[in-house]
Structure 1
């Protein structure tokens, strides 16, 4: 039986990063990937002749971002799009009130100011919260003390709920009060006209990646690890498991001996959210030129509340909306036709007959994907960012976890996945690795 230095399970951003660093350091590395493609939750559909990112789309804040440094080093083109973090303002947004009426500039400015004031009060409320408090608890206490009229409170309440759904894929009452503490955005946000999965695919060039190899068991012993995929066993000195948290929580991989408590406990506590995308491409634009987003506030936006203009990617009028948390879980049980009809009904409440029938659509169902069982991790009530980092391990010095769920500073992001893969490789090697040198090696290999 062929023996490796390290086996990496999963060929997403964290897995490819970890494997490439280890191989560049001289290790014999094998990557086992359950899917028939590289990228994991970075999944770009190019069948229409342009890129549609069905999974990750954004870098949320490029200032001081190692991921942004990698993108620049690889000369990957990007487009600035700075409302992907569900910000109240900051870019041109078409706001509609709870009755579905277009808000003028003064009304929108008042709404943005209301959110800013509530968010400032929320920081203090979170800081003084008790263990076990949820994000719903702290936001309701802030709203109760706001002194605002009921309609304005409803608009902020819906905003807080939808922000949690988009950032975490979870219901606001399931998120810990500190669940968005690490969610700071520094600098512009960007999206990728050539598709985000270009990054893991370029990183993976030259690696021994075995596709359609779903790992079902990982055993560790005195002589290293044995990894089982299908009818085959692979052995190595160490293993880095980078599968999504949802796969681990489902018990799809058996660990023998069982995971130690310092890894098993956070695995049990952390949550896996559902965040699905609905892209609608139209024959012509019915919203304003230059608008970044359309947003329905209060009652009008109870279900479908935000649409993002991503036309710059395809050059055709295209809106992207999200179904996340409980709505995301419910809607992924419905047909495409039913979902499209529901979204159009919401848009026509705002724009009337100006909304034409779409000419194309793309809809995701990440909660039904057996190789992710959700979209990304979140801090369930009673957890903290420490749980994310504790999940990384290692166990017995030979079993490591990586992936966005293991990076407490920036969970639920590609940046977190990238950082976790780097950390896992450093732990396997027992030394630090310069990420600038990592990027330089990729470019040098591509240039022969």
Structure 2
């Protein structure tokens, strides 16, 4: 893939010409808007990209957002007289994280989660934390010693990536009882939204280096952090942010990109930054014309978008809290993954005592199952379990279910990496631009992938790439070196006699 200087052609003329090119939309009767950069999506990554462009003196951009709000999967809602998070709850990484700077500056409340504050309840409600649970923890701890040694060999490039399940098998961890299975869920599914069979062992090793996550529990909501982060670059009601503009098609040539939305509007720009969720990209709900190349698709599909359902139950103020005092409660159902992790939102540092809200979460296939149920059905299932575990429990006065999988703008909750998805070659392919189309989001972060922090980091990095390219220094991607291809890598030459900026290492930046 090579880039050339943008020809000095009027965008209006270019749009009219594009209407005659096969496969591109005609422009008659449509509302056409022009900008230097289009940012598709106003989630954490899109907002960070917009802020960075602004700081780089590129103010001629438009942000298209399919919903009626900004924030993406950072979504704070009022429930039970307080604010709860429908999306992201935790903030990962503190040093060098601009969002952490906002937390400190504005005294955003929350706490570092105490993963050791946990009780295990069986199907019948027995507390087996110090008996069967303790044996399971010890057995898993031994397996993790071996798992970490395998990860070290991967990091030293002495062995290839494999699934988390394979790494655990090497450590002789083979969970058979409901208690062992819920301990495994808490250790792995809870982080990745999927069973160890489909998650990367190498990726697990990378995230082990991420510092303790901060659970945001502020009545202003997680959204407040994002809005404060971008308020100087994107003031409230900024006319460059267009809400309720759902993208249906992206058409691109060597010189321009045209984006069509459901409303029939067409937006034309020199560059586009796509921040759609991996679920949307993989669903085909947005058409690329021409289609994205095989090297992009083959590697992009190695990234998973997992489903995570959170069920909030608000009990009457007259009801005394009936659940355990620990921060986390693990429920060992006879069937693996049935509502396995409950969070006590009245644990120290979270909601005030008497808030009477219990959060119950599930992942993967079970989350997909309950996403097909009605809210009443989900409530009835949960209440059956709570009554079996704790006895006579009063009906909740309100229930809130997050439902990300059913939202067509996201189609899931957060990303996860399957085996091999974090190899340097695959990461290069995933993060590389396709012509003038750049990609950003939590899945594209090299250091903190799948976290909000990673989404912001990716938006910053991608906006800087676009800024450089707008000034003539563009990333050139050699698809011969990407992904699982068995073809012999080829070394491309910079166009027009340009020079490689990093001494000839490919992919490289070319200047001309």
Q: Do the structures match in fold with TM over 0.5?
A: yes
1:305 to 340, 346, 369: 340
Relative to structure 1, the CA distance from residue 158 to residue 128 in structure 2 (aligned partners, 3 Å threshold; closer, same or farther) is farther
- Which is worse superposed, 127-136 or 240-249? 127-136
- Which is worse superposed, 401-410 or 309-318? 309-318
User: 2:283 maps to which residue?
Assistant: 250
CA distance in 2, matches of 1:260, 1:304: 40
CA distance in 2, matches of 1:168, 1:72: 27
Task: Confirm or deny that 1:211 pairs with 2:247.
Answer: no
CA distance in 2, matches of 1:70, 1:135: 35
1:77 to 76, 91, 108: 108
CA distance in 2, matches of 1:4, 1:266: 30
- Which is worse superposed, 9-18 or 301-310? 301-310
Report if aligned partners of 1:58, 1:192 keep a CA contact under 8 Å in 2: no
Report if aligned partners of 2:79, 2:400 keep a CA contact under 8 Å in 1: no
Shift of the alpha carbon at 1:235? 1.4
- Partner of 1:236, secondary structure, is strand
User: 1:445 maps to which residue?
Assistant: none
Shift of the alpha carbon at 1:374? 1.0
Task: Confirm or deny that 1:333 pairs with 2:365.
Answer: no
Task: Confirm or deny that 1:15 pairs with 2:39.
Answer: no
1:165 to 162, 185, 189: 189
Relative to structure 1, the CA distance from residue 298 to residue 344 in structure 2 (aligned partners, 3 Å threshold; closer, same or farther) is closer
CA distance in 1, matches of 2:152, 2:180: 20
Residue by residue over 1:318-351, the C-alpha shift from the partner in whole angstroms, topping out at 9 and shown as x without a partner, is 1111121000011111111221122222223332
1:287 to 323, 329, 347: 323
Report if aligned partners of 1:8, 1:19 keep a CA contact under 8 Å in 2: yes
User: 2:464 maps to which residue?
Assistant: 426
More helix by share: 1
Structure label with greater radius of gyration: 2
CA distance in 2, matches of 1:26, 1:383: 35
CA distance in 2, matches of 1:23, 1:302: 45
CA distance in 2, matches of 1:45, 1:140: 41
- Which is worse superposed, 33-42 or 170-179? 170-179
CA distance in 2, matches of 1:260, 1:191: 40
Report if aligned partners of 1:102, 1:350 keep a CA contact under 8 Å in 2: no
Report if aligned partners of 1:51, 1:313 keep a CA contact under 8 Å in 2: no
Determine which structure has greater relative contact order: mean sequence separation of CA pairs < 8 Å that are 6+ residues apart, divided by chain length.
Answer: 1
Report if aligned partners of 2:249, 2:286 keep a CA contact under 8 Å in 1: yes
Task: Please report the RMSD computed on the Cα atoms of aligned residues, expressed in angstroms.
Answer: 2.8
Task: Confirm or deny that 1:383 pairs with 2:421.
Answer: yes
CA distance in 1, matches of 2:93, 2:39: 29
Residue by residue over 1:176-203, the C-alpha shift from the partner in whole angstroms, topping out at 9 and shown as x without a partner, is 3334222224135221322112233342
CA distance in 1, matches of 2:223, 2:287: 29
CA distance in 1, matches of 2:87, 2:441: 15
- Partner of 1:6, secondary structure, is strand
Residue by residue over 1:38-58, the C-alpha shift from the partner in whole angstroms, topping out at 9 and shown as x without a partner, is 111111112654212111111
User: 1:442 maps to which residue?
Assistant: none
- Partner of 2:391, secondary structure, is helix
Relative to structure 1, the CA distance from residue 388 to residue 169 in structure 2 (aligned partners, 3 Å threshold; closer, same or farther) is farther
